[in-house]
């Protein structure tokens, strides 16, 4: 039995390139994926994402913008670490905004929800603009297809790591080897 994988597109479609994760999730939802993979557009519903992450997923792949000082459209795969204890962004947050929680705050909420450990990967794209608007910039729009391939590769690897390579998504093999991986 393959562990369940959650693929979550996050971001605000009204803030230009912040809609990147939502667009990638939309494209992935139209592909043929194994039954153990769930793709969802969480938009700005961080609390909904936190509750779903707490629902026994082996791996979660979050797709979002990631401001890392790179050229716009640059893709990065980040292995996210959950904040230890009450330190970090959660401790500094006085009120939860269920419609705008950043992924690091969402990960901090998991312990409060009694969630088991879930491996969390973030496929991030360097934004060009987070100004008001519903269009992705040219470099970020150009990175969407590569991000889809990267997520497909990560899904295939999650299935292979669990010993069920025969039931994994097909992958082009392009994308992930060329993308820097970081541990947060």
Q: Where are the domains of the chain?
A: 5-183
Rounded Cα distance, 82 and 75, in Å: 21
The DSSP output letter for 166 is G
Q: Which residues of 3-34 are buried (b: 16+ CB within 10 A; e: fewer)?
A: bbbbbbbbbbbebbbbbbbbbbbeebeeeebb
* Over residues 69-79, mean pLDDT: 96
Output the pTM of the full model. 0.80
Q: Which fold has domain 5-183?
A: Rossmann fold (3.40.50)
Please report the pLDDT score of residue 45 as a whole number.
86
Please report the pLDDT score of residue 20 as a whole number.
97
- pLDDT of residue 2 exceeding 80, the answer is no
**Averaging pLDDT over each range in 13-17, 159-163, 165-169, which range is the top one?**
13-17
Name, in order, each residue with C-beta under 8 angstroms of 114's C-beta and a sequence gap of 6 or more: 54
């Amino acid at each position: 039995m393959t562990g369940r994988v959650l693929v979550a597109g996050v971001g605000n479609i009204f803030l230009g390139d912040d809609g990147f994760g939502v667009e990638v999730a939309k494209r992935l939802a139209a592909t043929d994926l194994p039954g153990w993979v769930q793709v969802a557009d969480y938009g700005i519903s961080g609390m909904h994402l936190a509750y779903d992450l707490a629902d026994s997923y082996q791996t979660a792949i979050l797709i979002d913008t990631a401001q890392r000082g790179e050229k716009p459209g640059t893709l990065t795969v980040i292995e996210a670490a959950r904040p230890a204890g009450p330190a970090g962004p959660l401790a500094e947050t006085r009120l939860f905004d269920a419609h705008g929680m950043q992924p690091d705050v969402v990960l901090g909420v998991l312990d409060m929800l009694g969630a088991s450990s879930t491996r969390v990967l973030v496929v991030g794209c360097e934004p060009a603009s987070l100004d008001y608007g519903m269009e992705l910039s040219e470099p970020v729009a150009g990175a969407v297809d590569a991000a889809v391939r990267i997520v497909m590769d990560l899904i295939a690897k999650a299935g292979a790591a669990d010993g069920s390579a025969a039931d994994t998504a097909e992958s082009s093999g392009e994308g992930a080897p060329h993308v820097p991986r970081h541990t947060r």
